[in-house]
Amino acid sequence: MDAYFDSAIIVKLYVQEATSPDAIRLVDGYAAPYALTRWQELEVKNAVRLKAFRAEITPAEMSQSIAAFDQDIATGRWQRPPYTAEAVEQKAEELSASHSATLGCRTLDIIHVAAARVIGAKDFLTFDGRQGALAGQVGLVVKP
């Protein structure tokens, strides 16, 4: 599991968006199984639910998207790498202290970058500029 996918990339695999083809191409550049932390899973499912709340997708589409994601988890496409929440939280505090005042990172962005570092990912895939800047600052290869 050499790559860490930002939750927004993962959402695009399960809900059709304008940049879904780009996300699919990026993910297809890596061999499954893909790393999946509890934070990613929660954020992906919540983002899909928010799309239903905002009427961007129907409740049926929401259920189908979450079911497809859960199925991919159950069949091993997404797997939990070994890590502890404590290690991620400690790394997140370090990253916040050293980069938030200059990069303006949100907490979940910091947690995702910290998790990527803790699990030993080499690449960090995101469409988010600030999150990508943080990932690059801490030595991850940022794509696209």
pLDDT over 90 at 74, yes or no: yes
Residues 19 and 48 in one domain: yes
Mean pLDDT of 112-125: 98
26, 53, 79 — which closes off a domain? 79
Pairing, β 141-143 against β 34-35: unpaired
pLDDT over 90 at 93, yes or no: yes
Can you tell me the distance from the alpha carbon of 55 to that of 45, in angstroms, rounded to the nearest whole number? 15
Residues 20 and 61 in one domain: yes
pTM of structure = 0.93
79, 96, 130 — which closes off a domain? 79
Measured between alpha carbons, how far is residue 10 from residues 13, 59, 61, 87 in Å? 5, 19, 16, 23
Alpha helices in the chain (DSSP H): 7-14, 20-28, 38-53, 59-74, 85-95, 101-103, 107-119, 129-137
pLDDT over 80 at 42, yes or no: yes
Mean pLDDT of 73-89: 97
Mean pLDDT of 57-63: 98
Where is 4: in which H helix or E strand?
strand 3-5
What confidence score (pLDDT) does residue 1 get? 73
The partner residues of 79 in beta bridges, in order of sequence, read 35
33, 50, 79 — which closes off a domain? 79
Residue 2, token pair as written in the block: 């050499």
pLDDT band at 125 (very low <50, low <70, confident <90, very high): very high
Q: What is the mean pLDDT of the chain?
A: 97
Mean pLDDT of 131-136: 97
Residues 57 and 24 in one domain: yes
Tally of domains in the chain:
2
